[in-house]
Each structure stands twice: as C-alpha cells, then as structure tokens.
Amino acid sequence: MKISVLLSEKKREIAKTWFDLIVETYPQDTANFLKTQKNRFGNPVGHTISEGIEVVLEELSGEMDFARISKYLDNIIRIRAIQDFTPSQAVGFIFLLKKVIREELFNEIHANHLFDELLVIESKIDQLANISFDMYIACREKIYKLKANELRNRTSRILKMSNMFKEAEVEEKDTAGF
C-alpha cells in the first residue's frame, strides 16, 4: 500500500476536514456562512477554497503539476491576502494539511510502515507553503502599489483643485482692480 493510494481513497474525508480547519481560521460568523452556504455564486470564497483544496489533494497524490496547483493556490491566496490575516495566517492553511493527513491516515501509515512516504508528502506540502508565501507577498505588493497610486492620484487631484482655487482668487483680484 502506498500513501498516494491512501490519499486518493480518503480524498473526500481529507478535503472535508481540511476545509473545516481552514474555515475555522475565519471569524465565527464568517466560518458559519462558509460552511453552510453551498451555492457557488452565493459563497464564492467557500467555493474557491473547496475547489482549490480538491486540486491540491489530487496533485499531492500524483506527480505534482505545480503549474496547475499554482493556479488554484493563487485563487485562495488572493482571497486571503485582502483579508485581515497576518502572512503566517494567510498561508498557514497549507500546514493544516499535514495535520489532517496524519490524523486521517495514521492507522494505515503505522500499519503499513509508510513513514518515509509521509515525509515525502510533507516535503511537498512544505514546497506548497513556500509557493503560497511567494504568491501572498506578490499579492500584498500589488495591493500596496494600488493603494499608493490611489493616494498619489487623490493628492494630485486635491493639489490641482487647490491650485484652481488660487488661480480663481488671483483672477478675481486682477479683475476687481480695473
């Protein structure tokens, strides 16, 4: 028995447990909504997380197509980057997968002496965490650039408006003197 086979066989249980742990990182009201609202359009965050973890689990038990995983991880990370999470909280959901795998597959891993394979899987999860952190930083940099540009544009508009007021005052003084 290989751990990849076990991951495939218990994918549904692992995905559900991992989803529940991820949702618990949100405030209680949000967590309740994410768990109960199943509509893709009514709950795009929950859908994105659910879809992403399914792909991660598929790839984790296979050849690890990092291009495919990155696409789905990026969707999750983008959501978490704009929310009120610290960097470690935003990408920490990846490490929750280690916990879920150990708990869900403990008996099988122990009975079949799959500890070496578990270490390989956990190394892959660590790689996913590194990729996720890079994605998070890129998202945050983009957010900061957008905020800086918006502040610069607002300041520019204010300065232009204040300059117009000064020009209008100068024109009034010039025309009042005639």
List the single range of 134-138, 145-149, 171-175 with lowest mean pLDDT. 171-175
Q: What's the pLDDT tens digit per position in 82-114?
A: 998 999 999 999 999 999 999 999 999 999 999
Give residue 168's pLDDT band: very low, low, confident or very high (50, 70, 90).
Answer: low
Distance, CA of 121 to CA of 11 (rounded, Å): 14
pLDDT at 165 over 60: no
Q: What's the pLDDT tens digit per position in 118-140?
A: 999 999 999 999 999 999 999 99
> Given CA atoms 89, 92, 96, 99 in this order, what sign does their dihedral have?
negative
- Does the pTM of the predicted model rise above 0.85? no
List the single range of 54-58, 147-151, 167-171 with lowest mean pLDDT. 167-171
> Given CA atoms 47, 53, 58, 62 in this order, what sign does their dihedral have?
positive
pLDDT at 10: 94
